[in-house]
Amino acid sequence: MMAFMTSAPIAPEIPGAIIALARAARRITVLTGAGISAESGVPTFRDAQTGLWTQVDPEDLATPAAWARDKPYVNAWFLWRVHLISAATPHAGHRALADWARRPDTDLRIVTQNIDDLHERAGSEVLAHLHGSLFAWRCDRCERPAPTPQAPAQPRERIEPDTCPHCAFGEIRPGVVWFNEALPERELADAIRVCRDADLVVVVGTSGIVQPAASLPHLAGARGIPVIEIDPRPTEFSPFATHVWRATAGAALPALVAAL
Ligand code: NAD
Ligand code: ZN
């Protein structure tokens, strides 16, 4: 048996139909999930080995009930995420999306479920952060915005939240959408609009489990708009995608944008 070895990473082969769709599209909607940040070292929730949720029950952390029960515990966990994400850097896949958006005659809209800021730091404008942001803290009572608190350099189990300087009653919570909370209205409306008016929808790195975000690509599919999925593993959406590309975001997106 012969074995072939190479020293350079192999550029992923782009399915021809995907290049053709990407070249023809003018209005492109990109839906991203935790998987696009994986190659920046930010763990996805459901990744078997590294998913944050394999060690921690989300019900203990990312719910209004958890916050009501133990604010310092929830606060410390989210501040540790601030630390980790601040230390992470965008990768070539994030940058490729920013490059794609700068091409002439191109209107590329990014809708993300991610609470990190890696798209922005790669030079992209994000139309909608469906699940809020780790960098948009606010008062849990009067809702007025507050600066992101100082993140610890080491993980800590408990950190007292700051008291709101405006109302003096509330405490400062992360601006992320917790389980059992509603999505921000403007963001959701924009996401729905750009899934309906696109020439092409590209779904990258989302398992398609968390609703209502998981329904968005179906809005496009129902209108006959082609939907491409880029994900190394099968997802809930895979059977409905027009084309599936089994590749990572960091390999696929730079290759695709280079081929435009
Ligand atoms: P998920 O964890 O449910 O699914 C991640 C998907 O990414 C999987 O389908 C996986 O196969 C895929 N994936 C893994 N590595 C990849 C890679 N290198 N390139 C492309 N795809 C890859 O994530 P979700 O669908 O976004 O939903 C989980 C929820 O978790 C969301 O609400 C999101 O807000 C939150 N979350 C956010 C972050 C973040 O902001 N970076 C991180 C973890 C979780
Ligand atoms: Zn307040």
HEC-encoded secondary structure of 163-198: ECCCCCCCEEEEEECCCCCCCCHHHHHHHHHHHHCC
Q: What proportion of the chain, given as a percentage, has pLDDT over 70?
A: 90
145 CA to centre of ligand 2 in angstroms: 8
Name the residue with tokens 């020439």.
199
The pLDDT of residue 9 is 44
Co-location of 82 and 186 in the same domain: no
Interatomic CA distance for residues 56 and 41, integer angstroms: 18
248 lines ligand 1 (CB under 6 A): yes
The tally of domains found in the chain comes to 2
Domain of residue 216, CATH code: 3.40.50.1220
Position 28 in a domain: yes
pTM of the model: 0.92
Cα(65) to ligand 1 centroid in Å equals 24
Domain that holds residue 230: 14-42+90-131+182-260
Whether residue 6 is contained in a domain is answered as no
Listed residues 145, 160, 176: the one ending a domain: 176
Question: In this model, does residue 205 exceed pLDDT 70?
Answer: yes
Q: State the average pLDDT over residues 173-190.
A: 96
Q: Tell me: pLDDT of 105 over 50.
A: yes
Task: Give the pLDDT of residue 51.
Answer: 52
Determine the residue of 36, 44, 56, 206 to mutate for testing ligand 1's pocket, defined as the one with the most ligand atoms within 8 A of the Cβ atom. Answer: 44
Residue 7 — pLDDT band, cuts 50, 70, 90?
Answer: very low
36 and 157 inside one domain: no
Same domain (yes/no): 113, 140: no
Same domain, 201 and 223: yes
Three-point CA angle 106, 256, 41, nearest 5°:
105
Quick check: is 94 in a domain?
Answer: yes
Q: Please tell me the distance between residue 146's alpha carbon and the centre of ligand 2 in angstroms.
A: 9
Please give the pLDDT value at position 156. 87
Catalytic residues: 131
